[in-house]
Amino acid sequence: MKRITDADLDALSSFARLSALARYDLADPDLVEELDAIAASTAERLRQPIAMTNLMLDSAAVVRGSYGLDEYGDAVNVPIEWSFCVRAVRSGRPQVVTDMSRDPEEHDNPLVVHQGVRSYAGVPLSTPDGQVIGTHCVIGLEPREFTDAELATLSTAAAQVLTTLERYAKD
């Protein structure tokens, strides 16, 4: 299982980052519907079975907007130890894992072992004040390389997610 480092915990529990995340009305069903549509478009464009907007709290990853996760119900909200997005949130850079079963940090992740996840590509969601609050990502059930053009498509979708989130800012 992936080891969550002190640096991971410091990044995830940052007051500024959590305050930036708290600005948004994440419970608004219209927001979730719009993020679902972005995820569906992302999955279609990248030919992946799963796409989502994953927002990182200090101890859990919460999905707001997804495609391909209906059969998982509330199980899509996972502890940070299971989340593939931690590295992208901490680094502020896109993260790609072409084969989770061979990745030293993820090979024994329950989502890899029991759900068959094999590939991941995620782009950080950075708020206007520079706080990384999560990722927009795709997940595949087969090992996969992602091209620069596909990562650009994912980045464009992440920008759409951020524009959408800003419309649901509480202040």
Q: Identify the pLDDT of residue 128.
A: 92
Q: Identify the pLDDT of residue 71.
A: 64
Is the Cβ–Cβ distance between 91 and 146 less than 8 Å? Answer: no
Distance CA 75, CA 77 (A): 5
> E strands of the chain, at which residues?
50-56, 60-67, 78-79, 95-97, 119-126, 132-140
Q: What does each of the 171 residues of the chain score in pLDDT, given as a tens digit?
A: 667 778 878 888 899 999 999 999 999 999 999 999 999 999 999 999 999 999 999 988 999 999 998 765 555 678 888 888 888 998 899 999 999 999 998 888 888 888 889 999 999 999 999 999 999 999 999 999 999 999 999 999 999 999 999 999 997
Distance CA 10, CA 128 (A): 21
The DSSP letter of residue 96 is: E
CA 94, 49, 162, 82 dihedral sign is negative
- CATH number of this structure's domain 6-167, picked from the four choices 3.30.450.40, 3.40.50.720, 3.40.190.10, 3.40.462.10: 3.30.450.40
What Cα–Cα distance (Å) separates residue 74 from each residue in 46, 83, 102? 25, 14, 27
Q: Identify the pLDDT of residue 5.
A: 79
